[in-house]
Structure 1
Amino acid sequence: MQLLIALHLLFFITQTLAAVFRQDAFAVARKGSAIRLPCLQEGTHEYMYWYRQFAGGGLAVLYLSRYEGMDADNESQDPRFSAVRPNRQNFPLNITGLQLTDTAVYYCVDLLQVQQSPLDLVLHPGSPMKVTCSVQGSSNPNTFWYRWTPTEGIHCVFYSVGTGQVEPAKVDEFSASRPNNSHFVLESAGVGTGLAVWYCAGSTHGNKSKAGRCTINSPL
């Protein structure tokens, strides 16, 4: 009797306007055989991932590719898994020596990685402030600074569609700058009183005419 292994393949698109992924939805293979799970994006995202989810379990990263042509990172540490990124669009996953334990849902994912530095600041009124947001995973992501206050909720304050392009130039005592494609800097020569939480966000859009607007501009 031959044992068959079911591999469910799903798309998980984190940037809704940015890319379209093409991939088979279901695959069945024999135990001990090999299989190739294709993933093709029609966009130009740099960071692509393969995730796996067992029934009743959480997501686990299998492979990470930062750029085409570079060696992808085998996060699973399982030598039966391999992935090569020959170009920006293709990131297939190969599995050899299939086992029943490989039965799972496999996700092909694109992501932007957003890092904010420093994460926390406690300042006296009038003190200068500078926070840098780094967005990786796209050649030219749209970037945003949101601000939350107890009285106003969350608002989109600054947005940028590219290097040197920031709108608006200044809000209250704060200003923002985009020195390069990957960084969006928030600054103040002297902060005021009160509590505020600032959030940095990144997005990729296929239509630039729709990209340069804050997606949240009223209290939540």
Structure 2
Amino acid sequence: MEFILNIFSNLLLFLSFTLEKLVPIFSILFSGAFAGLIVQYWIRLYMKYDKVQKTANYAKLLAYETGNRVNDYKVIAENIKNVKKDIKEANGNTLKEKWTSILNYDLNKDKDNQICYAMLNVLSDSDIIFWNKNKKHFMHLPTNDFEVLHRYYNFTRKSANELYSLSNHCNNEKQSEISLKMSDYSYLISLYLTSLIYEAERPIYAYILKSTFINIYSKEYKHKLSIN
């Protein structure tokens, strides 16, 4: 019995000695691994922060190119129904005759409320060109949001422009309805670009404490997107 106790005692001494030597080694290994995880976490956090800043810069430029689309489409919607009063309702009207009539209709209006001035702005494709040149800088965004931007600049805007160019103003009510929809759609795009710009104001600590920063534009954008 005494022999067995001696063996057990020696075994405990051996284990104690072994653990005493290994604990510092394990401590160094685990502390190093933990530090490595922290460094990786901060690197990922900074990369996300940096990506948001760069995206905001491109969003600012795109927002500048988009300009006053919301108001321009609204001006067209509000005024185009009345243009018909000054245009001969003949299917043979040439494009030149139509625009001459519209110019005469606009003469007594202030510049910000002239349909021709608004039409020239919306027919400009500077924002479409900018989007196609720089859309790669937006491709990391959520798929649905990227598609909203892409569809607006490459399909919806172009379709509206074709409508304005080809119409003989025999159905101005329809043009007005489409213009109002374009104004709403442009507002949705403006909201999203504003939310991307505003997101760049989030301080880096707010990526950890997310409740300390609320993107009000993103919230409104998601709401408007859900009802469209």
Q: Same fold (TM over 0.5)?
A: no
Task: Give the TM-score, by structure 2 length.
Answer: 0.20
The structure with the greater share of residues assigned to strand is 1
Based on CA coordinates, which of the two structures has the bigger radius of gyration? 2
Higher fraction of helix = 2
TM-score, normalising length from structure 1? Answer: 0.20
Larger RCO (CA within 8 A; separation ≥ 6): 2
